[in-house]
Structure 1
Amino acid sequence: MTAATGHHFARPGNRFWPVLHLSGFTPRLLKPSEQGELLSYGLGITNVVARATARADELTAQEYREGGRLLGAKVERLRPRWLAVVGVTAYRAAFDDRKARVGPQERTIGASRVWVLPNPSGLNAHWTAATMAEEFGRLREAARDA
């Protein structure tokens, strides 16, 4: 769906946009087609791996590693205060950190701190929208206090 629309987290039922709003990052629920508005809130959005798939497990370890390398270079160039990676499995594969957990990471990329967020896919059923919003909110508070 993302590839077809050109918008991140575009599949109906994906909880990213509702969770982003519930956590307080956006003042209203945005549609995937409104992703350009994120910049006005001081937020950006990109992919770890540029190839669209229906499921994350369709990506290879090599694609994740290369995506992590490219994302790291982008973060070093743009120097955001925080990099949030959605999905602990993607983060582990992209940044070769098998022990990573959801939450703030010890690793930095340049001066940018790193936070791993839960994957909002409906396939990630052990995280509810409410518990994901709590974790996204923890990042929002940390970013505000930094």
Structure 2
Amino acid sequence: MTVPDIVAPGLSVLFCGINPGLMSARLGQHFARPGNRFWPTLHLSGFTPRLMRPAEQLSLVDYGLGITNMVARPSARADELTRQEFVQGAEILTTLVDKYTPQTVAILGVTAYRTGFARPKATVGPQPETLGTAKLWVLPNPSGLNAHYQLPDLAAEFRRLCESLCR
């Protein structure tokens, strides 16, 4: 099963995960694995007024948010993906952004961004370039496998983006 894009015209933020995990693919829900910190991070950073469940993903558009993935192919780990898949995914994401014109695109994983967009020195945070007309941010990957960021640190990075939208 594929995980559908949650997208609508003119979103405030289109979050772009790396690729669906096996559980997400089976359920057709983004960030479905219980250990994934995306949903708690969204709430703690101020994007949603309450903690949402993956089954509620369609409700994100009510908050001006959407989700897609850089690579559609499910895998157990992101390191199973090829460079070519990231490059093709960046091209597909660019087309999606041109069609739906979100205000901001947030790529959830610095390595995915570096690889897909050939930006080897990119760091977490706002990027100097845009993606079409959208501002571009790189945020840490919320997977439980990303030990570099604990939940409070993830929430702080997501909050920086959330607060930048209110300026």
TM range, normalised to the smaller chain?
over 0.9
Gaps of 5+ in 2: 1-22
Match of 1:27 among 40, 49, 55: 49
Q: Which runs of 4+ in 1 moved over 3 A?
A: none
Q: Does 1:123 align with 2:123?
A: no
Q: Give the number of the structure whose residues are more often helix, by fraction.
A: 1
> 1:116 & 1:109 partners in 2: Cα distance?
12
Q: Does 1:42 align with 2:69?
A: no
> 2:119 & 2:75 partners in 1: Cα distance?
23
> 1:118 & 1:34 partners in 2: Cα distance?
22
Percent identical: 59
Q: Deviations over 1:12-65 (max 9, x none)?
A: 111110011000100010101111010000001001100011111011001000
- TM-score of the two chains, using structure 2 as the length reference: 0.85
DSSP-derived class of the 2:138 partner: strand
Q: Does 1:98 align with 2:129?
A: no
> 1:15 & 1:80 partners in 2: Cα distance?
23
Q: Give the number of the structure whose residues are more often strand, by fraction.
A: 2
Q: Which residue of 2 aligns with 1:83?
A: 105
Larger RCO (alpha carbons 8 Å, 6+ apart) = 2
Q: How many residues align?
A: 145
DSSP-derived class of the 1:45 partner: strand
Q: Which residue of 2 aligns with 1:110?
A: 132
RMSD between superposed Cα atoms in Å: 0.7
